[in-house]
Amino acid sequence: MTTRDTETLAELMSERAGKRGSGLPTWEQVGARAVDPSTGYRPSPNLLWKVASGQDVKINPPLVRAIAAAFSLPLDRVQLAAARQFIGLEVDDPFDTPPGDDDTVVRVAHAPGKTAEDMPATRQFIERAARSENEDD
């Protein structure tokens, strides 16, 4: 099992459906629940299986929203998993930013292998934003 910081969309989906005899829902059952709440788009069970199998598909916001709805998962978790799988981005906090009083969370999308030292402009932006937020209080 993967962690939320490393999971791909295929991993996220295949852990929750499609394994006959496992008690998990079939792709037909998942397809019945996969409806984009914004547009009403319904991906086919075959398309859902392809995504879960790691095949290349055309990924788009309605598909991602439909998958989130099908599994009752937070949309941002599904979006991050899709970014890892289809774009190859890592999304994390390379700066280990301490949470503020308002529990602010920092996430940065970056190429695999990049570290905080590789992103000085991003660090400066985050620090400026934090200072600005503190000055407003």
Query: What does the pLDDT read at residue 30?
Result: 96
For residue range 24-42, list pLDDT tens digits in order: 999 999 999 999 999 999 9
3-state secondary structure of 90: strand
Tokens of 7: 């999971």
Report the C-alpha gap between 16 and 27 in whole angstroms: 10
Distance of alpha carbon 20 from alpha carbon 127, whole angstroms: 50
- Give pLDDT < 70 ranges for the chain: 1-5, 91-92, 97-104, 134, 136-137
Q: How many CB atoms lie within 10 A of CB 31?
A: 21
Reported as a single tens digit per residue, the pLDDT across 123-137 is: 888 888 877 776 765
